[in-house]
Amino acid sequence: MSKLRMFCILVSVLVMLFTNLLCSDTILNDGFVGALKVDESFALLFRTESQTFSLTGECSKKPLNNGEIKPGDAEWKLSSFLSDKSGITLTQTDNLGSNWSTTNTRSVKALATSVAAFDDYKLTFTMQVRFPKLKKSDNTPIIINGQQQYFGPYTCSTTVDLKVINIIIKRRVAGQGDFIKISDTQNVSSVIVGQKIELKVEVEPSVTEFTNIWTISGGKPIKDYQPTTQKAEVINLTNTDYGQKTITYYHTAGGSTSVKAKVTIKGKNKEKTVGYGILRPINIEEKVEWDPPNGPINLIIEEGIVEMICQVDINGACKSPVGGQGAIGFIQKVHHKSTYKIVNGTTGNYPNYDVWRLDAGENSFLYDDPVIIQSNVTKTVSTHDSPGAPVSTTHQEIHLIYEFKTYFMYKPTSGIWVTLASVDWNFECKYEKGKGITAKEWNPKNPVGTDSTELPTW
């Protein structure tokens, strides 16, 4: 055999060996299956608000090599994060940058910039993954020309729908004018206690399919209070009222309030909170003065009729808030357990025995005529009461037991009556034929009203 032929045979053997060795370390079947998942597939943002999205790369099937080469732990990197239109700034926040890492999670913050239009956006996130190639014989990395070899990189992408919105709360006071947008700050014009308040919530851009839940904290809001001579009840706000896009109510207490609208769009919630002050009359005074102080219970003759009565003067005063013109007056309720006995031995109870009822005339639920009060002024309202019972020659005995609750009330123009103060007072006296008044007591000796927001009902 010639030397040339032997050389060719040797070269052929070496090439075959080298080829077999090389083929044992190359991929024969690429079977990768993976996905990129995000914590939220739909998100709501306010303009100038940000939200961070958590991304997780997953492998449901790794690359195969017909059993010849085993992939090691996956390495991941975030390759891109894009918005389909301007107005959204995306920033990676996990400090891993575009470096490969065995950590399969990344985080990206989306910021709706101040110039962003209220609109729908699509955010696309892309991660890449690769797998080190290892020798089957000893699981050491395969190195070619000084470079570690990998399966991949493979690409995994996901898209998030994002809606940039603005929740607007509008208010109308006392039913006058148009609804006015309330500022995001607490520096919102105050309202007057008892005024009609209307709120509505809107979403920019216009979204018809959204729900809302109102929360009103402070100011003791109610739905309505419209007393008559026959009935007075407080109508409270219900869950149905709080679940509307528009709500109407009245404050019965002063101070401040916080109003929150919780909007739900496609199962996602966003809240908007605003606040405002509630002005109420100040320097409130109410008192009942026994007339005379040392003996208000007496027998008197009025229009030829003898009566056993208790006489009192009732006074109230307050200073109205700026813009708080309206009226002040009294509402009084009475309760008694009064009895009588006539000379033939018959006994009985006076009408409305043991029943709390309105103490007023036939044409008004107020105890007396109201007094007009202008804006930012001090005004006084006064009235007189003389409860009792007629005494006739047929009465053997009369026993009067009375208790009263007098409410000092205020009503702004185009509003409802609200309570400023209330005072409780009572008296008891007994008449016996031939002896006159044999027992009498009145309490308290100096009845002074206390601040109150309780609305009288009957």
Q: How far apart are CA 320 and CA 411, in angstroms?
A: 10
107 near 92, Cβ under 8 Å? yes
How confident is the model at residue 304, as a pLDDT? 83
- Alpha carbon of residue 176 to chain centroid: 25
Q: Nearest Cα to 298, choosing from 58, 290, 161, 380?
A: 290
> How many other C-beta atoms are found inside a 10 Å radius of the C-beta of residue 374?
10
pLDDT along the chain (458 residues), means of 10: 54 40 38 87 89 92 59 86 94 95 95 81 95 83 91 93 92 92 71 97 86 97 98 98 98 96 93 94 98 94 90 98 98 97 96 96 94 98 96 96 98 97 98 96 96 98
pLDDT in tens, 139-169: 888 899 999 998 889 999 999 999 999 899 9
Q: How far apart are CA 282 and CA 373, in angstroms?
A: 13
**CB burial string 386-398: b at 16+ within 10 A, e below:** ebbbebeeebbbb
How confident is the model at residue 5, as a pLDDT? 57
How confident is the model at residue 349, as a pLDDT? 97
Integer angstrom CA distances of residue 3 from 8, 12, 13, 15, 17: 9, 14, 16, 18, 21
Domain boundaries, the chain: 28-164, 174-279, 282-451
45 near 263, Cβ under 8 Å? no
How confident is the model at residue 161, as a pLDDT? 94
pLDDT in tens, 185-200: 544 789 999 999 999 9
Q: How far apart are CA 400 and CA 427, in angstroms?
A: 8
Helices (H), 368-425: none
CATH number of 28-164: 2.60.40.10
How confident is the model at residue 64, as a pLDDT? 63
User: To which residue do tokens 């026994």 refer?
Assistant: 290
What is 174-279's CATH superfamily?
Immunoglobulins (2.60.40.10)
Same fold, 28-164 and 174-279: yes
Q: What is the pTM of this model?
A: 0.81
Residue type, 76: W
